[in-house]
Structure 1
């Protein structure tokens, strides 16, 4: 059986892109729900105090680099090359590529990790310069960064293994892997904090434990597809050099949203204590639908788009992008509206415990509303960028990324003085809108993405359904003061009513307007 026929068989066996997206979405939802539970536990133990700010920065640095290099640039460069090898070369060549990439990636990241651990205080000053005025917070963040930074090496190798599994239609295990991070941080917070003079240090060790367990989880599944890497140095290998060439601009093209969030952290470090934590808690809620749906769809379509490009099938390529954009609109628009209208109820229900105060809820809700305005655009970036990277075009996204980054800084400086931390979140959303718009325009202008029939009817259905959902949420809503006065049980009950009623109104309106599950298959 040829590689191309093999891929087709795998896709049919998996029920197509919709089924694969659902599998990734379910696994990611489990991870995100546990992620929220993790953040609730952290909020209860540490609130928005100085030690919480210090940990979030120490964790954000390797996590940011992980998204930038491992899940961003590396995956988007590696998967198209691996797919091409599968389509056009024998299995031995695929194994050789995997071996060379594993060795080169492992050695390079080990050197980076060692240097970063030695220069931890300097890195903290680069990523959170506002800590310079608070020596104790700076020292604590530096100590934690020395512990957390090896996570970059571990999770990058995990992402490498996950990219191989995704390319072979094995989506569930890589999507489940983040669950281990959340379980580790929850367990470390509850079980290990009593053993540290600085209780927050338990979180740093929890990050390392998670990285080791996530990497080990991939091993048996790589053995199952007979592609367990045998690391070899491969700096001069043709495939490795192609991946490296694609990676450099891809760092900007895929991860611009993460860069913008990082710039928010830098500026927020100069604002009042709690600003970083407010942005973190609101970003976590925004990441829930983004991760469950946006990233899930993007994860599934990249291998498919790469194979369609390698097989010279532009019609299928365009149809896959059209399907992905429609699905993102179906989910992203109502999710953004719901986050905007339910900002205080969500923050209060999930985080208003322990050391979290009334003011923290209100301030975090402000930035959540600002982020919600950009949710749809964050999701569109995730599914439009693969339209470039699958064709191994990295120059166009990097140009767009540079424009978006510059605009983000301009928006930051324009809004931070009047809106404080919420201005930083709004600036990120505005730059995401610019990024998504330019990516879409580029694909349409070059004829890569051709708009298929039925968009007028589809848009009308979405307008009706989102209007119905918003009306129900506003009608059943309560003021923030009421949510803060309620007990936790009352908040849970009322939030459940709102969510169920909103989803019911949205789904019913779609059904009445004529949308059926068959319309969503690809």
Structure 2
């Protein structure tokens, strides 16, 4: 039965999500994301051992990067940032029936649109490779192999976008653990494909493309029971005329250039890297994978939990709480992001050696990947800030401002790329991405502050002293204790793992002991969503 309650008033049939502490929710997402990222590193160790920086590895990374880039752009980028605020508003003010009608229309419209895009992409696979990796055009065999892989990996976009839709619903109802755990299934699928399917393939890398396809099915199927348990399992039916769908599409158009700008910049790196020395694409990939660990565990986790919370506060017109949440998010990101960035820079070669220096991975590969890792690490804090500042706009259903900032950052990245690629090669591409990320984050923060949305709470001066002092102490300790990187080459696997664990423990202990000595306590980071 359709509710007669006016849209701007809460309905007695509304199934609004319960409130929950943001730190608790953030920790849940962080733990699950850490598990996913660790499994991702295990996956990359397997891939590096099997393929190294070969033509097959370059082909797979490009074939996987294209749908993965579009996933982040559409599913976790524009769609998520447009869908969650609208769904949060419905959950606060609309009836159960209206919520289900929205879910049915969005699921059906998303499926129809992405099915068409997927079919076209599979037909045009060779031309897509020309666009995303033009350097492969000089090697017909490599181009054909990459196109064949893309036909297997591109349907992942449809499957993972529907998975992201399901995850957005679960997140809005404060069920953060399931969506955060889901990426583990991708890593398990790729590891399984590498181990069990590789012997069956003429080209070993082709097994990984099949693994991507399997992962998409597994991830979507995993979330279905949890949607059913909430009573929110949709019956997909395309309805582009639905009021909620039209609002989401309107918000999505500019959002494509908003929070996903860092992904566009990484894609530009791949395009240019394909024109450099063989192996450049792989060096950037391996270094990016290490940066993705803290970015996902800290930055994306905090961004994930604050978007629905901010959206609800905006719908309730609770502006003071909205501003306090943004300030809280900035403090948490800096608390964890700053030491993580410094640790990656100091331990670049040891980390890469421990994870990837096996099989086909050479000493030169480690040195080259370490150069780009340090450049990416320089921008890690900026990458994280974008993840928590952009929701400040999207939660208020303002997607026009981030698109303007995104365009400026993309143009700047292109300029930085052209300037830095000549002296620094692939590392210059990574540094350009970092510099453009700082520009992006700076402009987002400035505009939020100017609009009165980001209001800095008292205590930032003392907080800066605490963080900077702890980071300096940690960095000095790691420099003093860690052996020269060449020494790590002689270590066996368990020696490497033991040293890394010890250094991480030492760095964490120095950092948090300093913070505790200066009076910082866990209770200072409590925030109700």
Settle same-fold status: TM greater than 0.5: yes
* Residue 358 (structure 1) aligned to one of 351, 354, 363: 363
Instruction: Look up the SS of the partner of 1:270 in the other structure.
Output: coil
The alpha-carbon deviation at position 486 of structure 1 amounts to: 2.3
The alpha-carbon deviation at position 487 of structure 1 amounts to: 2.3
What's the TM-score, normalizing by structure 2? Answer: 0.97
Q: Deviations over 1:151-182 (max 9, x none)?
A: 00000000001000100111010000000000
1:516 aligns with 2:524: no
* Residue 108 (structure 1) aligned to one of 103, 109, 113: 113
Kindly tell me the number of residue pairs found equivalent between the two proteins.
519
The answer to whether the 8 A contact 1:148-1:208 is kept is yes
The answer to whether the 8 A contact 1:336-1:373 is kept is yes
The alpha-carbon deviation at position 64 of structure 1 amounts to: 0.3
Matches within 5 A, 1:418-457: 418-457=423-462
The alpha-carbon deviation at position 444 of structure 1 amounts to: 0.4
Matches within 5 A, 1:267-416: 267-416=272-421
Q: What is the distance in 1 between the residues matched to 2:238 and 2:199?
A: 43
The answer to whether the 8 A contact 1:99-1:230 is kept is yes
Change (3 A) 1:3 1:277: farther
Counterpart position of 2:209: 204
Q: What is the distance in 2 between the residues matched to 1:442 and 1:147?
A: 42
Change (3 A) 1:365 1:7: farther
Q: What is the distance in 1 between the residues matched to 2:10 and 2:470?
A: 45
The alpha-carbon deviation at position 253 of structure 1 amounts to: 0.5
* Residue 265 (structure 1) aligned to one of 243, 261, 270: 270
Q: Deviations over 1:108-149 (max 9, x none)?
A: 100100000000000011000000111111110000000100
1:246 aligns with 2:251: yes
The answer to whether the 8 A contact 1:95-1:227 is kept is yes
Instruction: Look up the SS of the partner of 1:84 in the other structure.
Output: helix
Change (3 A) 1:66 1:349: same
Q: Deviations over 1:382-419 (max 9, x none)?
A: 00000000000011000000000000000000000110
The answer to whether the 8 A contact 1:100-1:240 is kept is yes
The alpha-carbon deviation at position 11 of structure 1 amounts to: 2.0
Higher alpha-carbon deviation: 489-498 or 283-292: 489-498
Higher alpha-carbon deviation: 70-79 or 192-201: 192-201
The alpha-carbon deviation at position 347 of structure 1 amounts to: 0.2
1:95 aligns with 2:95: no
Matches within 5 A, 1:18-57: 18-57=23-62
Q: Deviations over 1:297-331 (max 9, x none)?
A: 00000000000000001000000000000000000
Structure 2 runs not aligned, ≥5 long:
1-8
The alpha-carbon deviation at position 490 of structure 1 amounts to: 2.2
Q: What is the distance in 2 between the residues matched to 1:244 and 1:259?
A: 20
* Residue 11 (structure 1) aligned to one of 19, 28, 42: 19
What's the TM-score, normalizing by structure 1? Answer: 0.98
Q: Deviations over 1:458-477 (max 9, x none)?
A: 11111111111011001112
The alpha-carbon deviation at position 478 of structure 1 amounts to: 2.0
Q: What is the distance in 2 between the residues matched to 1:313 and 1:11?
A: 14
Q: What is the distance in 2 between the residues matched to 1:473 and 1:227?
A: 49
1:461 aligns with 2:466: yes
The answer to whether the 8 A contact 2:330-2:385 is kept is yes
The answer to whether the 8 A contact 2:71-2:161 is kept is yes
Structure 1 runs not aligned, ≥5 long:
none
Q: What is the distance in 2 between the residues matched to 1:426 and 1:143?
A: 32
The answer to whether the 8 A contact 1:285-1:368 is kept is yes
RMSD between aligned residues: 1.4
The answer to whether the 8 A contact 1:129-1:266 is kept is yes
Counterpart position of 2:238: 233
